[in-house]
């Protein structure tokens, strides 16, 4: 990786951490943190699936260490970032990255969160406990991320950064 790419990735981590500390809203019995999902979509389009997953992982680590996130930040962020990157790489459309984020986080990660939460957090919640907040958070963040990427493409920012 080159220095410019690492700096941009670190900036995305900072945006994900800071955004999660200040931007959230109630989603059922949990809180939705859409900025992480917006960052996932933007990173998937800018860098691809591998770096997007690294950004999601590092963001999760920092959020857990600073107390602004739980261990559920890992499956929620990383699976969505991976699927967003894969979908964008395959289809080349921003909205496919957003759909990948929603499917990856809102559906797949919420189902993986059940045994994960049981094993690591000692909770006995079922799948329907995690699906609504994961889905709402990923949907709002994915739409926000797709709108930001569309605007950045319109002003030719992505080609300059890449």
Query: pLDDT of the chain along its 162 residues, tens only?
Result: 699 899 999 999 999 999 987 887 776 656 678 999 999 999 999 999 999 999 999 999 998 898 877 777 788 889 999 999 999 999 999 999 999 999 998 889 888 877 766 676 666 666 567 778 888 889 999 999 999 999 998 887 666 555
Alpha carbons 44 and 126: distance in angstroms, whole number: 30
Query: Do the beta carbons of residue 88 and residue 94 sit within 8 Å?
Result: yes
3-class secondary structure, 27? strand
Alpha carbons 148 and 2: distance in angstroms, whole number: 24
Query: Do the beta carbons of residue 79 and residue 134 sit within 8 Å?
Result: no
E runs forming strands in the chain? 25-27, 30-32
pTM flag (> 0.95): no
């Amino acid at each position: 990786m080159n220095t410019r790419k690492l700096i941009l990735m670190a900036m995305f981590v900072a945006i994900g951490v800071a955004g999660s500390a200040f931007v959230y809203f109630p989603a059922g019995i949990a809180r939705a943190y859409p900025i992480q999902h917006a960052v996932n979509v933007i990173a998937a389009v800018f860098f691809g699936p591998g770096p997007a997953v690294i950004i999601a992982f590092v963001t999760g680590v920092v959020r857990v260490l600073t107390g602004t996130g739980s261990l559920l930040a890992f499956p929620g962020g990383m699976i969505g970032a991976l699927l967003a990157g894969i979908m964008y790489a395959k289809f080349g459309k921003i909205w496919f990255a957003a759909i990948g984020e929603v499917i990856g986080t809102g559906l797949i990660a919420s189902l993986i969160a059940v045994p994960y939460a049981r094993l690591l957090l000692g909770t006995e919640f079922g799948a329907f406990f995690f699906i609504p907040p994961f889905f709402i958070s990923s949907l709002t963040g994915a739409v926000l991320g797709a709108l930001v990427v569309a605007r950045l493409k319109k002003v030719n920012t992505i080609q300059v950064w890449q």
